[in-house]
Structure formats: structure tokens, C-alpha cells
Amino acid sequence: MTDRPHENRYDELKALIDDESNKEHECRKYLQYIPHYLFRETVVSYEYRETEYRGHSGDSDYVISGKVKDESGFECVRAYIWELKAPQCYIFEKDTKNRLRPTKDLIQAENQLLHYYEEQKGSDQFRDEFKVTHPDNVCFGGIIIGCNRTLVKGDYNEKKKERLFQRTKTIRDKHFYRNSGIRLVTWDTILCQFRPPIRGETRSDIAEQEIPMPKIPPGADIDNH
């Protein structure tokens, strides 16, 4: 039987990404259908999820926690903090003819994520709500921003845009994101999680290609909104 709900979500999210107006809030709801993607480890069970989590320094866009298992079999509950920007937001923009800089939207997202992470890691209330026992298990999730058409803003040809984007992203990964465990993700990457299977391919094949799909225990429901 064809997984019609998954295909419908793919078409719906694609339409939001292709739209010219800001669709951050509309896109955000699709994350509830792919909670596994927001973790780095294999998820045993999901604990809690909240959008616009209120803190002293502002509201975290998306926070999710779950019991995870690492390669040694060790289990613990970890919470991942994510900051979201619309697929219509550019990621990098022209600085010089051979160099890009992060856009205002990306800088804002990075700054918000850093402050929310630091605050929530030290909050007993946060750890209690998300069932996290140790501050070290409050983790950076990352930033979801932009899409394939908004990777670079500037008067470059397409080939040069691609080259400059790859170079700039590699530098930021090497000196910033990788060391902190921050993931920079586009909405097109999120869209891939809903891609309808092609001929001869199953939904499990897609999940295996992109990220392992954990089994959610019967009755588990993280959509509390």
C-alpha cells in the first residue's frame, strides 16, 4: 500500500518551500513527523517536545528530548535544541567577489541558539521538564534555514555560487559547527525525509539512506501541540 500521508506531506512542505513569503511557522509543524532526524543517536523512546520554549533570553524554536542509545549500548535522555528560520531566508551573501559572509538571518539564528543552549543547559527547570538528568545531556541540535535556491545571495553565476557556498560552509563546519556539534540544515534536506519512494524502493530504503529510523514505542506521542 502506498504511504499516502507521507507523500501528501512531501507535496505540502514542498509548496511551502517554493512559496515566496515567509513560511517558517508553517514548515515547523512538519518536524513532528521526523523526530528521529533531530537526534544524533539511535532513539529508544521520545520523552518531550516543545515549540517556542520560553526562557529568560528568548524562546527556543524547537526542543525535543528522548532516551537514546550510543554505540556501546549506554542509554540516557538527551535534549536537542534547534533554531529555525524560513526556507525563504538566504544563508550566505556576497562579501567580496571571492568571499561570502553569513546573512543577518543566519547570524541571528546562531546567536539565539548559543544563548538558548547556554541558558537551558544550566536550568534545573528545563532539565526536569525534558527529563534530562545531567547538564552535559543538553545538546546543540542546529539551525534549519533556507533552501536550495537561497544558499547564496549575490550577483555570481550559478557555478561560482556553488563553489563559494561549499568553501564557506566547509570553513564554518571546520572551525565552528563541528566542534560544537551544531548542524546547519536546509529545508530541502528536511523535505528529503518525506520523499516518495521511487520505483522499486520502499520507505525503509529512504530512511536507511538518510538516517536510521528508530521504532517508536506503541502509544508514544510527542505532538503535544
pLDDT in tens, 112-130: 999 999 999 999 999 999 9
Asked if residue 126 lies in contact with residue 138, where contact means CB atoms within 8 angstroms, the answer is yes
Residues near 112 by Cβ (< 8 Å), separated by ≥ 6? 58, 60, 83
Average pLDDT over residues 155-172: 96
| Model confidence, pTM | 0.85
Domain ranges for the chain: 4-210
Three cell numbers written together for 93 = 551573501
Average pLDDT over residues 143-167: 97
Q: Which of 133, 115, 134, 8 is nearest to 61 (CA)?
A: 115
Residue 209: pLDDT over 80 = no
Q: Say what the pLDDT of residue 220 is.
A: 42
What is the pLDDT of the chain when averaged over all its residues?
88
In the block, residue with C-alpha cell 514505542: 217
Q: Say what the pLDDT of residue 4 is.
A: 54
Between the alpha carbon of residue 191 and those of residues 127, 142, 155, 159, 210, the distances in Å are: 30, 16, 27, 24, 11
Three cell numbers written together for 20 = 515566496
Q: Is the CA virtual torsion 8, 10, 13, 16 positive or negative? A: negative
Cα-to-chain-centroid distance, residue 175 = 20
In the block, residue with C-alpha cell 534545573: 124
Q: Parallel, antiparallel, or unpaired for β 75-84 and 58-69?
A: antiparallel
Residue 216: pLDDT over 90 = no
Q: Say what the pLDDT of residue 215 is.
A: 33
